[in-house]
Amino acid sequence: MIAFIEYSDIFGKLDLNAFKHDAIEASVGISIILISIALVFFLTYKKLWVWLWRDWLTSLDHKKIGVMYLIVSAAMLFKGFVDAAMMRAQQAFSVGDSFGYLGAPHFQQIFTAHGTTMIFFVAMGMVFGLINILLPLQIGARDVAFPFLNNLSFWFFAVGAALLIVSLMIGNYAGTGWVSYPPLSGIKYSPGVGVDYWLWGIQIAGVGTLLSGVNFLVTIFKMRCPGMTLMKMPLFVWSVLNSLVLIVFAFPILTATLAMLSLDRMMGMHFFTSDFGGYPMMYVNLIWAWGHPEVYILVLPAFGIFSEVVATFSGKKLFGYTSMVWAMVAITFLSFIVWLHHFFTMGAGPKVNAFFGIMTMIIAVPTGVKVFNWLFTMFKGRVQFKTPMLWFLGFVIIFTIGGMDGVLMAIAPVDFQVHNSLFLVAHFHSMVIGGVLFGILAGFTYWFPKIFGFKLNEKYGGYAAFCWIFGFLFAFIPLYILGLMGATRRLNHYEAATGWQPLFIVAAIGVCIIAVGVFFQIVQLIVSIKEKDQNMDTTGDPWNGRTLEWSTTSPAPFYNFATIPEVSERDPFWTMKHHKQEAKYVEIHMPKNSPHGVFIGALSFTFSFGLIWNMWWLAIVSLIGMIVCLMIRLFDRDTEYAISPQEVEKFELANKHLN
């Protein structure tokens, strides 16, 4: 029998050529393998495997899942940043007779991987990391609504990231840009496995995001502590709620769209082909019907973080809470009717373009309301310029610049001039770095003591923030100018006569300054861990905070709150501090660890890998495996354990003693 099975039955499209890469690609692949081997040796040498498996990988504790999200995202941020630096280096030197050091096919893969990495595996991952850690704490809950689903979502996210990394070593990645428009991304023009890696990586991670969206929506709606009405929720929770509504409405569109593109590629269908009655522009509409809300999915939580940070470090309650909430709701609604501004040049006609242009401009109004509210919160407050506030200042400047030129580009005739130019690239980096990433970094510094129990070093944090802010301006202001001079995005070569090179060199210098900022962040982490004992947060409330997460000890115990708090107003902890209550302990039910999230995640990896390389048997076996794991989980009745009041008291006393 065996003799009749052909090579392609077992390995599909996978052969030795998949492992052949040019020198630069190979060195990246080899270094990843070496790092992995070193990690395995370290874990084995320190005998940490059991600890890793029991305390982290299989944990259903939302705080630990959040930390795992942050770790994966930080690794991916490093990768995405290296991509960015490679592109800047290429563009600084690839002029006239010099063609730089990257070949065109490799350059294409880098800009595709950079965009995909940064949006899906850095921004989304970090946002979900912070949501995981903070959301239950802020609403006074012990856990999320569906702890197992939460763990599964994380593994889907991690598998998506892993597929992207694996493409560096086996085969190659898509060269079609981060939204992979067909017909270029169709099987006819991209016959390799690159687009399939892109498709399945995002599809799996997207399903994880969707499950998280459902999970956290139920958590917010059903698990707030007694007394916390919707209008008493902290603004971070409000921002997350809006972001989750967007996820629930937008991500199914992505799932369906990617499914259609996959069917085109795998089954020879004709959704988006340029012949047989396919319609490529439908893809562009669908992907942006998801893609535009996605921008707000990322930036709304950042708005929420800044609302918390500004109120805390100004020592005042937030200015205009109600208007902040309504501004976010307005943004949520409007973000669904602006997607066409990504392709005004498609030729939809003046009336359609005008409608979407006006809607886009209107979105600036609620966003402006928010910026003014933050500034008014600072007004007459006792502002402490701690690191999170420095990120906020950088955010206000860069985000406002980016927002203003966003409104400029909402004018369709102007957009015709700058469409697909570096002006656009500078615009969305202002929003995503200045808005989302700075927000995440501010939130990370602000909540770090709550997660790990000690504060981060202020000095190096400040250096890092300044390097990032000035580095950003150096790296992207030249791109605005270059865009107006006519430089299009995704260029791997240009002529000397364009006179662009000096500006590209300035932009490359900007990246170097940001790299120094990253270096300071690493130093900050190392120094903070070394000086941990001096920076211990013994009170649980290091910043004189206002919301519930600061009312429990730092780091938060695995059950979050020994007694579920009862609140009667906004900023509940601010009032609570002056009215200490006697602790009453009750039995607490917590979810048990489960390995099935890891198993299903791993099987979803082999499933995708099988589909990407047409190893059908592997895909089918993995699919059956996933179903079996799910069944085992469904038949498992023993998923919770109880902690008696006496044990809770013991834990609480131990925490106090520690402090």
Partner 1 sequence: MTNTQSYPDTHHDVSSNTILGFWIYLMTDCVMFATFFAAYAVLHNNTFGGPSAKELFDLRFALGESLVLLASSFSCGVAMLYAPRQQTGKVLGWFAITFILGALFFWMGLYDFSRLIAGGNTWQSNGFLSSYFTLIGVHGLHILVGLMMMIVFIVQLIQRGLTGRVLRRLTCLRIYWHFLYLIWIFTFAIVYLIGAR
Residues that bind partner 1 (CB under 8 A): 141-143, 145-146, 210, 213-215, 217-218, 221-223, 226, 248-249, 251-253, 255-257, 259-260, 263-264, 267-271, 273, 275-279, 282, 286, 563-564, 584-590, 627, 631, 634-635, 637, 640, 645
Strand partners, 494: 95
- Give me the least distance between CB of 241 and partner 1, in Å please: 12
- Which lies closer to partner 1 via its Cβ, residue 253 or residue 513? 253
Say which DSSP state 349 is in.
-
Nearest approach in angstroms of CB 575 to partner 1 is 19
> Between residues 249 and 466, which has the closer beta carbon with respect to partner 1?
249
Tokens standing for 564? 């579920």
Question: What's the rounded Cα separation, in Å, for the pair 653 and 34?
Answer: 45
CA atoms in the 13 A half-sphere facing the CB of 519: 8
Q: Give the integer Cα–Cα distance in Å for 518 and 49.
A: 30
Q: Which of 490, 472, 340 is nearest to 415 (CA)?
A: 340
Nearer of residues 98 and 646 to partner 1, judged by Cβ: 646
Which residues, 6 or more positions from 265, have their beta carbon under 8 angstroms from its beta carbon? 186, 187, 195, 196, 199
CB of 518 to partner 1, least distance (A): 37
Neighbour tally for 25: CB within 10 Å: 20
For partner 1, the closer of residues 264 and 549 by Cβ is 264
CB 642 → partner 1: shortest distance, Å? 9
- Chain centre distance of CA 155: 14
For residue 30, how many other CB atoms are within 10 A of its CB? 12
Residue 645 beta carbon to partner 1: minimum distance, rounded to whole angstroms: 6
Q: 278 vs 388, which CB is nearer to partner 1?
A: 278
| Nearest to partner 1 of 529, 620 (CB atom) | 620
Sequence-distant (6+) residues with CB within 8 A of 222 are 145
Beta bridge partners of 229: none
C-beta closer to partner 1: residue 227 or 413: 227
Min dist. Cβ of residue 351 to partner 1 (A): 20
Q: Which two tokens stand for residue 176?
A: 């079609």
Beta bridge partners of residue 95, listed in sequence order: 494
Residue 132's CB is within 10 A of a number of other CB atoms, namely 26
Strand partners, 421: 488
- Tell me how far, at minimum, the Cβ of 560 lies from partner 1, in Å: 10
- Nearest approach, Cβ of residue 631 and partner 1 (Å): 6
Which of residues 430 and 622 has its CB atom nearest to partner 1 in the complex? 622
Q: Which amino acid makes up residue 325?
A: V
